Amino acid sequence: MIEISESVIVTKVFSESECFKIIDSKDELHKSVEELQNNEKYNIPPDESNYTFGHINFPYWHVESSDQNEWFIKKLRECVTEINDKFFKFKNNGLWNMGMYEYSNNPDHNNSCSWHFDDMSRGKRLGCSTTLHNAIEGGEFEIFNGEKVFIDLKVGEVVVFPTWLFHRVKPVLKGKRLSLITWMKGDPIDF
């Protein structure tokens, strides 16, 4: 485990071959955003989450717990629990709303994710981004915690950080970047 700052932790969770296995399963996992839009089960009302803030117009695959993908969900859950117990000590109500996100230099898709923070009011405490495939050029992950912090994520590494920190994915200039994204959930905050 590497502590980038007092609030950003990076650790290796998956091997490169495990990342390929996760990527290969996306066609079997669930459908892309276009196919999910008409499925009521996956339509999260805007007041329930703003997890797409900054995340628009790019391929996305929703990941649900099932026998075929429980191995990587369990591994990620154990990693996030260990990091939370050691560094953050938030109440841990499990992982929430996992998905694979793709950024590419394809002109039909968004090649970046603008500066944003994640909605804590619905219970999100820790953001978790696992790199499954790195872009050839661009696609760097950055966090702002008083200053811009470049996080050099290698394939199989996860960055864990409090959801109130601003973060972004810089534009992908060549190739594509695939990430497995989830959040550790605590109790909702009643503002």
Across 26-40, 75-89, 107-121, the highest mean pLDDT is recorded for 75-89
Map out the domains of the chain with their CATH numbers: 2-185 (2.60.120.620)
The predicted structure's pLDDT at residue 191: 61
Place of tokens 């990941």: 63
Using one digit for the tens of pLDDT, what is the confidence trace for 53-88?
Answer: 444 455 677 787 788 889 999 999 999 999 999 999
The predicted structure's pLDDT at residue 118: 86
Per-residue pLDDT, averaged over 125-153, amounts to 92
Maximum pairwise Cα distance, the chain: 44
pTM of the model: 0.82
CA distances from 39 to 30, 34, 182 (A): 11, 10, 21
DSSP string, 32-101: BHHHHTT-GGG---TTT--TTTT--SS-EEE----TTTHHHHHHHHHHHHHHIIIII------EEEEEEE
Crossing angle of helices 70-83 and 16-24, in 10° steps, is 130
Across 36-50, 93-107, 135-149, the highest mean pLDDT is recorded for 135-149
Position 35 confidence tier, pLDDT thresholds 50, 70, 90: low
User: Mean pLDDT score of the chain, rounded to an integer?
Assistant: 82
Per-residue pLDDT, averaged over 139-152, amounts to 91
